[in-house]
Amino acid sequence: MSEGSLPHRILVTHAQPEALAPMTRLILSRLGYAILTPEEFAPLAQTLERGRPDLRIVDERSLLEVPEDDPAVPLVVLTGRHGVTGADPRVVGAVRRPAGLHELYRLLQQVLEDKPRSTPRIPTHLAARCRRQGKDWTGAVLSLSENGCLLRSPEPLALGSRLGLSFELPLSGRLELDGEVAYQLVPDAGVIFHATAPSHRAAIARFVTQTLVAPTPSPS
């Protein structure tokens, strides 16, 4: 792994593989969080002269075995239903074993990112029908999460404006959503979904997860 191919964050896990839910490690790697064992991290640290990861994921039963980093590396503890105490100042959070994608992702975002997200987002290119004030037009969804999307629209959209949005997902069919333009990423508009039906949220979450675990096409 070269420095140019490094993920956004490097995490070291001090836990058995079964302490993470199936596919969690793979999906987080696609989201920029490489989860390595201490044995995998050691040669990388030497090659890149990087002596510490961004965060350590630790089974509570192995907490005493975790090395003391200088400066201290934050720890996320995998635990039972009763959580953890604040006895170790390195501990910044805890997730119940086996740690699932969404719970761990939210915690990593809060601890490591300046502008945390609550749900994973993926790039897309989905044709979308837009509706506002009796007018219909075609746009494109450029990225998608359970909470919202980035919309490319030939029609100008003012910040704070509401619109109806529909697009089709494989295996789920057409979804009808209501949204509000919350920000601009010029020339596109960031839309936050409102009052989304649970079935629609589940369909989007399923699509995001399936996209993240899909094999990466090899270069031709």
pLDDT tens digits, 202-219 = 999 999 999 998 876 655
User: Do residues 79 and 94 touch, judged by C-beta distance below 8 A?
Assistant: yes
For the segment 52-78, the average pLDDT, to the nearest whole number, is 89
pTM of the model: 0.73
pLDDT tens digits, 152-181 = 999 989 888 999 999 999 888 999 999 999
- pLDDT for the residue numbered 3: 41
- pLDDT for the residue numbered 20: 94
pLDDT tens digits, 32-64 = 999 999 999 988 877 766 778 999 999 998 888
Q: Is the pLDDT of residue 5 over 80?
A: no
- Structural domains present in the chain: 7-112 (3.40.50.2300), 122-213 (2.40.10.220)
Burial class (CB in 10 A: 0-12, 13-18, 19+), 3: exposed
For the segment 26-36, the average pLDDT, to the nearest whole number, is 93
Q: How far apart are CA 133 and CA 153, in angstroms?
A: 15
| DSSP assignment string, the chain | --GGG--SEEEEEES-GGGB-TTHHHHHHHTTEEEE-HHHHHHHHHHHT--S-SEEEEEGGGGGGS---SSPPPEEEEE-TT---S-STTEEEEEESSBPHHHHHHHHHHHH-SS--SS--EEEEEEEEEEETTEEEEEEEEEE-SSEEEEE-SS---TT-EEEEEEEETTTEEEEEEEEEEEEETTEEEEEEES--HHHHHHHHHHHHHHHHSPPPPP-
